[in-house]
Structure 1
Amino acid sequence: MENNSFNEIILDIDGTIWNTTGIVAVAWNKAIEMSGLNAKKVNAQILQQEFGKTMDTIANDLWPQLTEPERKNLLSYCCTEEQIAVRNNTLDITYPGVIETVRELSASANFYIVSNCQNGYIELTLEKTGLAPFIRDYECFGRTGKSKAENIQILMARNRITSAVYIGDTQGDADACSQAGIPFIWAAYGFGKVSRCIEKLEKFSDLKKLLAK
């Protein structure tokens, strides 16, 4: 792709910027215990298969036997415990080179985030990683209730972006890009496999080579 295709770069979070699944699994299991509901517990591997989907879809996948109100309440408990656990985490869970690469490339490219996460998660991610000064705007399912494809389009319209590229790690990300009409770069070091992408990043810093083409 030509250099100017990379002027506007939209990032996914989980499986692309960092991996919180180990921390989140502990937090969610705590919430499940506290809820008293007959809901199965999770582990990092289960969450890696689910992360990238919208929050309501994750709840439906994990706890199909619960009523919709029970799922909604349990998910709320889980998200509350998750926020506490991620905020209190002192380990470096970002993928190698992400922060340095975004910081370096932000001199010539604009970075954004679109995620299927709950409201408040992007803000926490930016706070914990120190990426806030380099992310120009963001959007998420928790704020709009809309799909990733729709949120990509909302963010692009709000920032008057006519051409952008999305970096994510799952087939859901690839499908969202197809629906939104923008190219997809696969973060191959993340959680998922994809059937199509314009480029593949074995590590995030490979983005510098793509920009240099």
Structure 2
Amino acid sequence: MQKPDSLIFDMDGTLWDAVDTYANSWNLVFEKMSIQRVIGRDDLMQLMGMEGKKLTKVLMPNFDEDRAQGIYMDVNETRRQILPTSGGIMYDGVTEGIKQLATKYKIFILSNCAVGIIPLFISWAKIEDDITDSIAYGQNNMPKHHNMQLLIDKHHLKHPVYIGDTNGDAEQTRMAGIPFIFVTYGFGKTDDYALKFDDFKSLTKYYMSL
């Protein structure tokens, strides 16, 4: 595998854990709409990384598509409102590691989240000066492999890698034709990777040593 010129990171399960805040955003909307449903952390853990349209079908199977989509948009707006104060838990070594890696590589974030969530994460992590660009599923409702290609084309990347935590990430990265780097501490499992790391500090050390 060639030395990369850029590192494209997944967000949830790779850089931080904001599942409790995400669950709260669902529950606030359900409460407001008098929907007798409570979403727990475990409910969302199995769905992390899933595209929005698929997510709504799993969480709201009894609602027609338009109503489910409307609720989902309300959830995302609520999420944008509460994230700046509720935030999430940064994985050990991420903030310092991103700052180090940005001195050597172009750093990107690509996530299957709604519009506006990645900037809130970047602000929470205080890494505004370290991220070259980002793209979210909510910007175009396209799968990750498509959005990887958009970043590659826009920034003329020669040897990017995608770093994520689920088998879905591995599959999408393979479709994009670039190496997948697996972090084992996140939300998923896979055997399909070029490299794996058990913590962010070892990932940082490896890429800083190349």
1:73-129 superposed Cα distances (whole Å, 9 cap, x missing partner) = 110121122122211126x61100001011012111111011111000111111111
Could you tell me how far 1:41 is from its partner in structure 2?
2.5
- The aligned residue for residue 130 of structure 1 is 126
Could you tell me how far 1:208 is from its partner in structure 2?
2.7
- The aligned residue for residue 195 of structure 1 is 191
Q: Distance in 1 between matches of 2:171 and 2:144?
A: 9
Letter in 1 for 2:83: V
| Structure 2 residue 173 is the aligned partner of structure 1 residue 167 | no
Runs of 4+ in 1 over 6 A off after TM superposition: none
- The aligned residue for residue 67 of structure 1 is 64
Q: Secondary structure at the match of 2:16?
A: coil
Letter in 2 for 1:61: V
- The aligned residue for residue 185 of structure 1 is 181
Q: Distance in 2 between matches of 1:37 and 1:27?
A: 13
Q: Is the 1:167–1:185 contact (alpha carbons within 8 Å) kept by the matching residues of 2?
A: yes
1:132-183 superposed Cα distances (whole Å, 9 cap, x missing partner) = 1111011111111111110000011000112210110011110110100011
> Could you list the runs of 5+ residues in structure 1 that have no partner in the other structure?
none
Q: Distance in 2 between matches of 1:118 and 1:204?
A: 25
RMSD: 1.4
> Could you list the runs of 5+ residues in structure 2 that have no partner in the other structure?
none
Q: Distance in 1 between matches of 2:27 and 2:183?
A: 28
Q: Distance in 2 between matches of 1:135 and 1:45?
A: 31
TM-score (norm 1): 0.93
Q: Distance in 2 between matches of 1:207 and 1:195?
A: 18
1:47-68 superposed Cα distances (whole Å, 9 cap, x missing partner) = 1211111111111111111101
| Structure 2 residue 116 is the aligned partner of structure 1 residue 117 | no
Q: Distance in 2 between matches of 1:87 and 1:172?
A: 28
Residue number among 34, 41, 44 corresponding to 2:41 in the alignment: 44
1:12-68 superposed Cα distances (whole Å, 9 cap, x missing partner) = 010011100012212211111212345x42111221211111111111111111101
Q: Secondary structure at the match of 1:139?
A: strand
Q: Distance in 2 between matches of 1:145 and 1:27?
A: 21
Q: Distance in 1 between matches of 2:7 and 2:162?
A: 6
Q: Distance in 1 between matches of 2:76 and 2:204?
A: 34
Q: What is the identity percentage for the equivalent residue pairs of Structure 1 and Structure 2? A: 29
